[in-house]
Chain A
Amino acid sequence: MAGYAQLVPLIILIPTLGALLNYFWGARLGETWASRFAILASALTFVIALSLYAGLNAAHGQASVVDPPLLDGWIRIGESVSIPWQMRVDTLSVTMMLFVSFVGTLIHIYAVGYMHGDPRYARFFAYINMFLAFMFVLVTGNNFLMMFVGWEGVGVCSFLLIGFWFDKPGGEGWRNSNAAKKAMIANRIGDFGMIMGILLMFWTFGTLDYYRPGEIPNVHILEKAVHEYELEHAAAAGEEQAGESQDEDTHGSLILTSLPAAEDKGDGAVFPPAHLDNEHMDTRALGVFGQSERLLAAGTEVHFGNFSLPIETVLVLITLFLQLGAAGKSAQIPLFVWLPDAMAGPTPVSALIHAATMVTAGVYMMVRSNVFFANAPLTSFVVTVVGALTALLAGYIAMGQWDIKRVLAYSTISQLGFMVAAVGVGAYGAAMFHMVTHAFFKALLFLGSGSVIHGMEHGHHHVDHDHGHAHEEEPFDPQDMRHMGGLRRRMPITWFTYLIGTLALAGIIPFAGFWSKDEILADSWLAGLHGKDLYQQFGGYIALALLLLAAAFTAFYMWRQMELVFYGRTRSPAADHAPESVASMTVPLLVLALFSVFIGFVNTPKAFLGLGDVLGNSSLTHFLEWSLANVHPWLPEGGVFNPVIAIIALALGLSGIRLARMIYGDGKALSSGGGDPLATRPSTGAIWRLANARLYLDEINFRFFENPFNRFGAFLADELDWKFWHDYVHNSVFLRGFNSLGEFLGRPVDLGLVDGTVNGVGRLTVWLSGRLRRVQSGYVRMYAISLLLGVVFVILLLLLPLLQT
């Protein structure tokens, strides 16, 4: 596996080539080949990710830093700034690569059927290939600015894909492009935070690299691993020795001498490493995280150009700005309004970008920056509250939606809130765990909803055909759950996989979501118990309480959706005729369903019924420990199974399902008026309507931000800049003023040339051109020459007397 890490540039290059191929030649390739090339590119990225994973394991988890070929650095300014193109293969980036490429490939396959017949079929595959490329830039970069390249790049792909159907007639195209624009602008507000954080970071540390080559992120785990390695080698050497000679006495000394020299993997990852800590490196030679730990230990005052701050304050500032960035990309309060609108894009896009991968970038960024967040208690508290509140509010709103994809969109926001809150309480490993499991079951749910929508559309066309009134078509929304019902019989595979996704999301044992959600809850509890200070303790309890409630909401809105979509009677002719989707769509569903059941076992908690002995105790967490200095910074027993909390969460989840079943089950899905049963009940009507209106957030946003922004812009442009400054001040005051001044000066001072004011020269120009136009019309070239001569003449006139003195 020598030099395995050198593969990593390919994971960006291959989908880029796929995107270019489909962009320029896709139309000529035809649907079959366009999609095949795209799927091939995506599948290759998964193969590369797997190879990197294997290589990384062989290198005992030690990270490698790779300089991509052909690129000569990036931003460098003399000696002072050096920001390279540099990639990092470590357990965190490989974890991201693995699930992004796997889920990505399945979604590529799914899109073959879903996008069939679209006029811009190849373009679609070009975009999602490009998206994968940027996503890999984001996760493989070894510095914050390269992450930012990926960060913005996926944002652009998201923009393109939300607005993919920008040309739909009847105003829908405009709505789609509005949604695309809104997403990009909300993200830009977050980017402002990212930029500010990065700027402060640069002037604090003089670099933006995470870790430098040879630097060790987590010293303790390395010491432990080297110890284990030595024991292993000693045992191996012992066996060898035992085979060669039976001399027991020399055995002990042989173990010591046979300890191998550093084993070079040919890519910078040497094991056992020459150093077990970073003491041999100067502070300035470390990356941002290593430096921040040293500066904190020394209590350094950081000097910026004209201000200076203690390092603790700097870290709080940096992390608060980064948190704003994460709020944009990962759709947290106050920037989450863009994600529900983003459902305007094709459903595979919603699954890939707006559920499984891109929106988790904010969480990835915070996990990557765990050293900063762990040392900024104030920010961690803010992050906890923001995440937990987002989880709760979005869960609440999801209960009142009719659009099948909107429910899932709010559910995504809510689940991202779980991850963000996990970062806040310091459970970075749990955040990553939930990110991985969520990628599978949420992608499954979105693809399932896509299958339902597809079925509804086909059913609708079918009905139209039969009854022949296609021309007087009334608007039909295939995403409205009020038209569905009873689809279980029409679409059995979709129903079955959707059920698994629902149970996984609702956190029902033993599905994936149970394990990851439970780890977040258990770690929150631990943070409350053992937190270093009040911020952490308080944050832990807040997170636990709000997230438990949010978990109950989750189960409720998901089962409400199950009842509305799959159970009961069919409520429209379209639903009566909805066919099951084609195999290219159902196979990815089945695969994802399989993973939604089992993926939770990648991180089976310690102390759980001895299951850990079979499946490995907290394998994912241990894997990540190589990259994260803090998997559980203030949680000594983080990742330990807590039966009490698990039972409470499970009970809440089950009662959520039970409640939803009581309200919507048995054909009670819609009350007689066509409304939600909760809406017609006086006790719950107001609450439901508030959720249905999405807390009036869009209205508030429009009224207090968009509208004032537009109106002030119009005021600036029309009144202040144009009518006042351009027309009044310049034309009336200046121009008339100069003219009268010019006339005043022009009379007594002979030719009007001496007054070297604007007016004089200006009038000369006007006069000259006016004269010439009359006298020599046709010889416009003369204008230029005479004007030139005039100017030079004026200059010389002014010049000579002054120079003579």
Chain B
Amino acid sequence: MESAGLSLLTTVLFLPLLGALVLLFLREEQAGHIKWTAFGFSMATFFGTLLLWLAFDSSASGLQMVQRVDWLPQYGISYYVGVDGLSLLLVVLTGFIVPLAILSSFRSQIFEERGRIRLYYLFMLLLEWAMIGVFVAQDLFLFYIFWEVTLVPMYFLIGIWGAEERIYAAVKFLLYTMAGSILMLLAILFLGSRGGSFALPELIAMVESGALELPFTGLLGAGSVQSFLFLGFFIAFAIKVPIWPLHSWLPDAHVQAPTAGSVILAGVLLKMGTYGLVRFNLPLFPEASVAWAPAIAVLAVIGILYGAWVSYAQTDVKKLVAYSSVSHLGFVVLGIFALNAQGIEGGLLQMVNHGISTGGLFLLVGMLYERRHTKALDAFGGIWKVMPFFGAAGLVVVLSSMGLPGLNGFVGEFTILLGSMGSEVLGFFFTMFAALGIILAAVYMLYMFQKVFMGDVDKEENRNLPRLHWQEIAVLVPILLVILLIGLQPGPFFDTMTATVDNLVADVGEFIPRGEETVAALPQGESPVLVVGAQGTK
């Protein structure tokens, strides 16, 4: 397992970096070469991630395609990568979104004004490299490096090619993420120095066996080391997600970022937060996770409702979509902290769904912006009539985003709510309030759809908008297909996660306080009625 050669995973991981290096040899004037090189490398990466999925054995719960090479052995730091059911789909998602983001930039007008076309695509590929790195790193130190590296290209994508207030937004984005990261770094250093290794699987094993003792004495009790470490990670991830009320950086970053930046930000970067919660918080600090779950779920539910309501009151399309992320990711967090298989798998799938649907929404908004140079809701109306295919695509993405059954968003939301209802730590009221979010989702999504696409074409500027270019259609069609695919056949996606998630749920479930196991009274002559709620028990 621990070889120094090029494993498939390492190859996929470093392909985008290689692409970035190749771009350095091209000249700024060779715009066509630059574009297609970047696109080619991102597509190659995408096929690589698909190969990973093909090679993945979904019946096994441990890490696969592991590669580990000593890096700083004196500190217990290694280049340690691998995928399992938690990360594989996010790697594939990254592979899927980045080529679309790159393709969507081909015809962008931002380069006419800001230029630096080579640098732009260089950053895109760097970003892809770092994002895949975040999802595959199994060494806390390596993870942290990748985590921080993602900031750099995004910072510049917003800061150089963003809208009017790009500098403010870029700096804010950077500051907020880093503020959280510092706490995480401290927690990582503590764990690494105590455990003598930064390798996550080893640390988890030590926590489970008791070799690494992290005492838990209450949520904020003195000496509740586990709780504080939990919070160290949690706050970093919560800012990234963002969990209410730490979302204040999001509308700025989203609104100011160029289209491709928003797509990647919503599509992948935010998932680094929710992924981190599942990857680190749950297995490393199971006791604290159980204890904190209701409090975090409260924030998640507030986020669902608040994000939706605030979204509804926006007058800027992009801001509306940005706030909708707060609502959608509230669902994801709720699912994760249901601490059962349904909730976590729903949460993981919903990360993918949100990446596709919200990524799609930002792409649509970007296409509008290229044509009208405004994002104000009032500037549109009747676009469906002017651009029929665009309208239909918009409808599908909007419906997916509001969770229409048969499309992808529903599968995720439904399984999350299923998990939440059957959760041993959440239950009825959390679920009921979260489910109100599906009403609000319809309210703000349809509001946007109506304002933009329906109604009379009563603004002169909208009358002669050019129809979609084939490259734009090529960006939207894969998104529509995946929306349908996951909506109708989510089975393979769930199967990928099941073994890993079951394992995780069993580990965390040990810490859920339970009364005596009850077996329901049996009707005579029947097999035992299962106690359905006790999914986590072993």
Binding site for B on A (CB under 8 A): 71-78, 80-81, 145, 148-149, 151-153, 156, 159, 163, 166-174, 177-178, 180-181, 184-185, 188-189, 191-192, 195-196, 199-200, 202-204, 206, 282-284, 294-295, 297-307, 710, 712-714, 716-718, 721, 725-726, 729-730, 756-759, 761-762, 765-766, 769, 780-781, 783-784, 787-788, 791-792, 795, 798-799, 802-803, 805
Inside 8 A of B425's CB, which chain A residues have their CB?
Answer: 305-306
Sample (15) of A-B pairs whose CB atoms are under 8 Å apart: A76-B495, A163-B454, A174-B454, A180-B450, A185-B443, A188-B438, A206-B530, A283-B527, A714-B313, A717-B309, A717-B314, A718-B313, A784-B152, A784-B153, A788-B152
Grouping DSSP codes into helix (H, G, I), strand (E, B) and loop, the A interface class, with mixed when no group exceeds half, is helix
Asked if A80 and B421 sit within 8 Å, CB to CB, the answer is no
Asked if A761 and B178 sit within 8 Å, CB to CB, the answer is yes
Inside 8 A of B171's CB, which chain A residues have their CB?
Answer: 762, 765-766
Inside 8 A of B442's CB, which chain A residues have their CB?
Answer: 184-185, 188
The distance in angstroms between the C-alpha atoms of A716 and B156, with both chains bound, is 31
**B456 CB within 8 Å of chain A:** yes
The distance in angstroms between the C-alpha atoms of A713 and B75, with both chains bound, is 52
The distance in angstroms between the C-alpha atoms of A181 and B498, with both chains bound, is 38
Inside 8 A of A762's CB, which chain B residues have their CB?
Answer: 171, 174-175, 178
The distance in angstroms between the C-alpha atoms of A182 and B456, with both chains bound, is 18
Asked if B182 and A758 sit within 8 Å, CB to CB, the answer is yes
Q: Least Cβ distance of A718 to chain B in Å?
A: 7
The distance in angstroms between the C-alpha atoms of A289 and B87, with both chains bound, is 39
**B423 CB within 8 Å of chain A:** yes
Q: Provided the pairs A284-B527, A717-B310, A784-B123 are in contact, do residues A199 and B421 lie with their beta carbons within 8 angstroms?
A: yes
CB within 8 Å of A: which B407-453 residues: 410-411, 414-415, 417-418, 421-428, 431-432, 435-436, 438-439, 442-443, 446-447, 450
**B223 CB within 8 Å of chain A:** no
Asked if B175 and A803 sit within 8 Å, CB to CB, the answer is no
- B10-18, B206-214, B483-491 - interface stretch: B483-491
Q: Provided the pairs A81-B342, A185-B443, A196-B435 are in contact, do residues A284 and B427 lie with their beta carbons within 8 angstroms?
A: no
**B121 CB within 8 Å of chain A:** no
Asked if B313 and A80 sit within 8 Å, CB to CB, the answer is no
Asked if A72 and B491 sit within 8 Å, CB to CB, the answer is yes
Closest 6 CB pairs of A and B: A717-B313, A758-B179, A177-B454, A298-B523, A713-B313, A173-B456
Give the interface size bracket for B toward A. Answer: 35 or more
Inside 8 A of B520's CB, which chain A residues have their CB?
Answer: 300-303
Q: Contact check: which of A167, A725, A756 meets B182 at CB < 8 Å?
A: A756
Q: Contact check: which of A192, A716, A798 meets B313 at CB < 8 Å?
A: A716
Asked if A721 and B310 sit within 8 Å, CB to CB, the answer is yes
**B287 CB within 8 Å of chain A:** no
How many residue pairs link A and B with beta carbons under 8 A? The number is 272
Inside 8 A of B175's CB, which chain A residues have their CB?
Answer: 758-759, 761-762, 765
**B62 CB within 8 Å of chain A:** no
**B324 CB within 8 Å of chain A:** no
Q: Least Cβ distance of A69 to chain B in Å?
A: 13
Asked if A792 and B145 sit within 8 Å, CB to CB, the answer is yes
Asked if B178 and A192 sit within 8 Å, CB to CB, the answer is no
Asked if B405 and A716 sit within 8 Å, CB to CB, the answer is no
* Among B116, B385, B529, residue most surrounded by chain A Cβ atoms (within 10 Å): B529
Q: Which residue of A is nearest B126, CB measured?
A: A784
Q: Which residue of A is nearest B441, CB measured?
A: A188
Q: Contact check: which of A145, A195, A301, A798 meets B185 at CB < 8 Å?
A: A798
* Among B144, B175, B534, residue most surrounded by chain A Cβ atoms (within 10 Å): B175
The distance in angstroms between the C-alpha atoms of A429 and B148, with both chains bound, is 66
Asked if B521 and A300 sit within 8 Å, CB to CB, the answer is yes
Q: Contact check: which of A80, A300, A730, A795 meets B144 at CB < 8 Å?
A: A795
Q: Provided the pairs A81-B418, A784-B152 are in contact, do residues A168 and B116 lie with their beta carbons within 8 angstroms?
A: no
Q: Least Cβ distance of A260 to chain B in Å?
A: 30
Q: Least Cβ distance of A194 to chain B in Å?
A: 10
Inside 8 A of B341's CB, which chain A residues have their CB?
Answer: 77-78, 80
Asked if B523 and A294 sit within 8 Å, CB to CB, the answer is yes
Asked if B455 and A787 sit within 8 Å, CB to CB, the answer is no
Q: Provided the pairs A74-B488, A167-B455, A199-B417 are in contact, do residues A305 and B446 lie with their beta carbons within 8 angstroms?
A: no
Asked if A304 and B533 sit within 8 Å, CB to CB, the answer is yes
Interface readout for B185-216 with A: 1 if CB under 8 Å, 0 if not?
A: 10001001100000000000000000000000
Q: Provided the pairs A295-B523, A758-B175 are in contact, do residues A307 and B427 lie with their beta carbons within 8 angstroms?
A: yes
Asked if A725 and B533 sit within 8 Å, CB to CB, the answer is no
Asked if B456 and A725 sit within 8 Å, CB to CB, the answer is no
Q: Contact check: which of B415, B426, B431 meets A77 at CB < 8 Å?
A: B415
The distance in angstroms between the C-alpha atoms of A638 and B160, with both chains bound, is 76
The distance in angstroms between the C-alpha atoms of A178 and B535, with both chains bound, is 45
Inside 8 A of A710's CB, which chain B residues have their CB?
Answer: 313
The distance in angstroms between the C-alpha atoms of A153 and B418, with both chains bound, is 21
The distance in angstroms between the C-alpha atoms of A781 and B426, with both chains bound, is 48
The distance in angstroms between the C-alpha atoms of A630 and B345, with both chains bound, is 38
**B218 CB within 8 Å of chain A:** no
Q: Least Cβ distance of B162 to chain A in Å?
A: 14
Binding site for A on B (CB under 8 A): 75, 116, 119, 122-123, 126, 144-145, 148-149, 151-153, 155-156, 159-160, 171, 174-176, 178-179, 182, 185, 189, 192-193, 245, 248, 251-252, 306, 309-310, 312-314, 323, 340-342, 345, 381-382, 384-385, 399, 404-406, 410-411, 414-415, 417-418, 421-428, 431-432, 435-436, 438-439, 442-443, 446-447, 450, 454-458, 488-491, 494-495, 498, 501-502, 518, 520-524, 526-527, 529-535
The distance in angstroms between the C-alpha atoms of A552 and B405, with both chains bound, is 41
Asked if A184 and B446 sit within 8 Å, CB to CB, the answer is yes
Grouping DSSP codes into helix (H, G, I), strand (E, B) and loop, the B interface class, with mixed when no group exceeds half, is helix
Asked if B454 and A713 sit within 8 Å, CB to CB, the answer is no
Q: Least Cβ distance of B18 to chain A in Å?
A: 17
Asked if B174 and A304 sit within 8 Å, CB to CB, the answer is no
Asked if A75 and B414 sit within 8 Å, CB to CB, the answer is yes
Q: Least Cβ distance of B265 to chain A in Å?
A: 17
Asked if A153 and B406 sit within 8 Å, CB to CB, the answer is yes
Q: Least Cβ distance of A206 to chain B in Å?
A: 5
A148-B405, A149-B405, A784-B126 known; 9 new pairs, CB 8 Å cut-off, are A73-B491, A77-B498, A174-B456, A181-B447, A306-B533, A307-B428, A781-B119, A781-B122, A795-B144
The distance in angstroms between the C-alpha atoms of A728 and B266, with both chains bound, is 25
Asked if B526 and A305 sit within 8 Å, CB to CB, the answer is no
Q: Contact check: which of A166, A725, A784, A803 meets B382 at CB < 8 Å?
A: A166
The distance in angstroms between the C-alpha atoms of A725 and B310, with both chains bound, is 13
Q: Provided the pairs A300-B529, A726-B248, A780-B116 are in contact, do residues A306 and B457 lie with their beta carbons within 8 angstroms?
A: no
Q: Least Cβ distance of B414 to chain A in Å?
A: 7
Asked if A795 and B178 sit within 8 Å, CB to CB, the answer is no
The distance in angstroms between the C-alpha atoms of A801 and B491, with both chains bound, is 49
The distance in angstroms between the C-alpha atoms of A184 and B423, with both chains bound, is 30
The distance in angstroms between the C-alpha atoms of A469 and B494, with both chains bound, is 66
* Among A206, A282, A299, A721, residue most surrounded by chain B Cβ atoms (within 10 Å): A721
Asked if A780 and B489 sit within 8 Å, CB to CB, the answer is no
* Among B126, B313, B345, B384, residue most surrounded by chain A Cβ atoms (within 10 Å): B313
The distance in angstroms between the C-alpha atoms of A326 and B495, with both chains bound, is 34
Q: Least Cβ distance of A161 to chain B in Å?
A: 13
Asked if A730 and B248 sit within 8 Å, CB to CB, the answer is yes
Inside 8 A of A759's CB, which chain B residues have their CB?
Answer: 175
Inside 8 A of A305's CB, which chain B residues have their CB?
Answer: 340, 421-427, 533
* Among B176, B418, B431, B498, residue most surrounded by chain A Cβ atoms (within 10 Å): B418
Asked if B531 and A303 sit within 8 Å, CB to CB, the answer is yes
The distance in angstroms between the C-alpha atoms of A803 and B155, with both chains bound, is 30
The distance in angstroms between the C-alpha atoms of A758 and B183, with both chains bound, is 10
Asked if A716 and B309 sit within 8 Å, CB to CB, the answer is yes
Q: Which residue of B is nearest A309, CB measured?
A: B428
Inside 8 A of A206's CB, which chain B residues have their CB?
Answer: 530, 532
The distance in angstroms between the C-alpha atoms of A769 and B166, with both chains bound, is 14
Q: Which residue of A is nearest B190, CB measured?
A: A802
Asked if A306 and B450 sit within 8 Å, CB to CB, the answer is no
Asked if B446 and A185 sit within 8 Å, CB to CB, the answer is yes
Asked if B306 and A716 sit within 8 Å, CB to CB, the answer is yes
Asked if B189 and A802 sit within 8 Å, CB to CB, the answer is yes
